[in-house]
Structure 1
Amino acid sequence: MAPDDAAKRRRTGRTLALIAVAAVLGIVGGTAVGYGIQADREPTPLPPLNQPGLAYPAKPLPKGQEPVPLTAAEDRGLRTEGDLRKLLLQKPAGARKVDFAPEDGWKGLAAYAEDFDGPSGEFEYLLGNGVRRIASTAWRTGEYRITQINLVQFRADGGQGAAEHAEDQRGFMEDEAGYGTPVKGSEDGRTYLLPVDRKAGYHDLYQARAYLHRGDVMIEIFMADAKKISQKDISSLAERQLERL
């Protein structure tokens, strides 16, 4: 694949929020959003170092003198090594289910790639960057508002899959909504309010998005509504989701 082609594919747009709200508003009919079921696999342990003499200290410390293990608050990696679905924000009180949300909270890579322009290229790119698993949730509140959150985890083997994936999507969003607003607590995460989509005879369509990462997990959030979405709404959601990681 030529470099220019790769750049075009990686800076692709997400269509799921638009399709979801369009279906709710009756703008399109007969659209089904498929999803794959990803097995709840245990994290794959790294192979041991095959080099003798690297252990320190040479002998185990006496009982009672061992160092205290780091807590989850001190080692964020402990949080993401467990069930990634438990780190997703919970549905707010009164929220309703949406058809495209995976029943078990896992989204398969093929279904995830289908939300991009150029699914096969995105599938190949994510595999090459070491994508590991995707936890996903979505809900509907009010009359039309739909919210979706994806946690896309990459293998922590020295690569920068989560950072690169978030950066790619932010690059695309600059063309759609400018430079966005920084997410508090994130190094380079941003939220975006897209221009309203108005068509004669249909409800207005408002969209907001967030792209950020922490460690090996990339966070993406989509909001769509027939009414205006405030900056506070999308920023608060992004900050609260980041805190859980």
Structure 2
Amino acid sequence: MTAAAPAPRRRPGRTTLLIAGAAALGVLAGAVTGYAVQYHRDPTPLPPLAQQKLVTPKALVPDDATTNKTINANRWHKTDDDISKLLIEAPGGAKIIEEPGYDTLDSFATHFERPGPALSDLASDSFRRVATEMWEEDDRVTEVRLVQFNDFAGANEFQRDQSGYMSEKKFAGNGGAAIPGVPADLGHVWVFSELREKPGYYPLRQSRAIVRRGDIVVEVFYNDKRGRNISQSDVIDLAKRQLERL
């Protein structure tokens, strides 16, 4: 028996394609109609982006009570006040060598190996002021300095310069250690590897911390007059306490 020839296959999806095409034309026609309607309508005004009449406080005439602080109240920071009051307090019973106060630029420059160039560099780096204090306890001398500049750039330059030579053998002779919670490039402490010796005197063990906070560079010198070992953590603690005061 001869098999019947198979019926030709029906093209799939033709009806579906026709319906889809009609739907697409309907959407397009609706969009065109919508644009045409909107085109003939008056534009809707947008709400104002800002108030037309702002209420501002009336300007006051300066009087005897007017100060630089009251004029710049919104931009005033506590480091614009008397920074000598921000120095950490000496421990009870310590011998005060220098009360908290200010050092002049000329006097401060004498602490450097080359006072003349140091004076010139500080002036060009927008040096503003330096507050210092010093005390002694159990043959250990602590000196704290707050060196402030007129801008961050000056403070950054000073901090980098002072930190840059500390690893040399003539000074600490080591890379020092970072202060916890402070980026390594903004603060470090060093305990000197070698004693400083001078005939007729006890050997001196030295340590130093240098850290910047804004436009102020904190310097801590912590030295033992009998050459005893200094714990790095003690120097870090002094530096962190001073940072908290700022």
| TM-score, normalized by the shorter chain, greater than 0.5 | yes
Paired with 1:171 and 1:218, the residues of 2 have a C-alpha distance of 14
* Aligned partner (choices 141, 144, 154) of residue 149 of structure 1: 144
Distance 1:94 1:57, change over 3 A: farther
Q: Map of 1:28-177 to 2, 5 A cutoff? A: 59-60=54-55, 78-98=77-97, 101=98, 103=99, 105-142=101-138, 144-156=139-151, 159-175=152-168, 176-177=171-172
Distance 1:172 1:129, change over 3 A: same
Q: CA deviation at 1:79?
A: 1.6
Paired with 1:244 and 1:198, the residues of 2 have a C-alpha distance of 31
**Comparing both structures, which one devotes a greater share of its residues to helix?**
2
Which shifted more, 127-136 or 180-189?
180-189
Distance 1:58 1:204, change over 3 A: farther
TM-score by length of 1: 0.65
Give deviations 1:158-206, integer Å, cap 9, x for gaps: x511111111111110213322111123222000000232647642210
Give deviations 1:95-126, integer Å, cap 9, x for gaps: 1022xx3x561111111100101101001100
Unaligned runs of 5+ in 2: 1-50, 59-73
- In the TM superposition, structure 1's runs of 4+ consecutive aligned residues that sit over 6 Å from their partners are none
* Equivalent residue pairs, number: 173
Give deviations 1:114-140, integer Å, cap 9, x for gaps: 010110100110011101111000000
8 A Cα contact 2:100 2:133, kept in partner: no
Q: Which amino acid in the other structure matches residue 220 of structure 1?
A: E
Distance 1:213 1:201, change over 3 A: same
Q: CA deviation at 1:61?
A: 5.4
Paired with 1:206 and 1:58, the residues of 2 have a C-alpha distance of 68
Unaligned runs of 5+ in 1: 1-55, 64-74
Paired with 2:234 and 2:119, the residues of 1 have a C-alpha distance of 31
The aligned residue for residue 235 of structure 1 is 236
The aligned residue for residue 48 of structure 2 is none
Paired with 1:106 and 1:62, the residues of 2 have a C-alpha distance of 39
Paired with 2:102 and 2:114, the residues of 1 have a C-alpha distance of 22
- Identity over the aligned pairs, expressed in percent? 37
8 A Cα contact 2:126 2:150, kept in partner: yes
Higher relative contact order (CA 8 A, sep 6+): 1
Paired with 1:85 and 1:207, the residues of 2 have a C-alpha distance of 24
TM-score by length of 2: 0.64
8 A Cα contact 1:170 1:211, kept in partner: yes
Paired with 2:163 and 2:217, the residues of 1 have a C-alpha distance of 12
Paired with 1:210 and 1:87, the residues of 2 have a C-alpha distance of 17
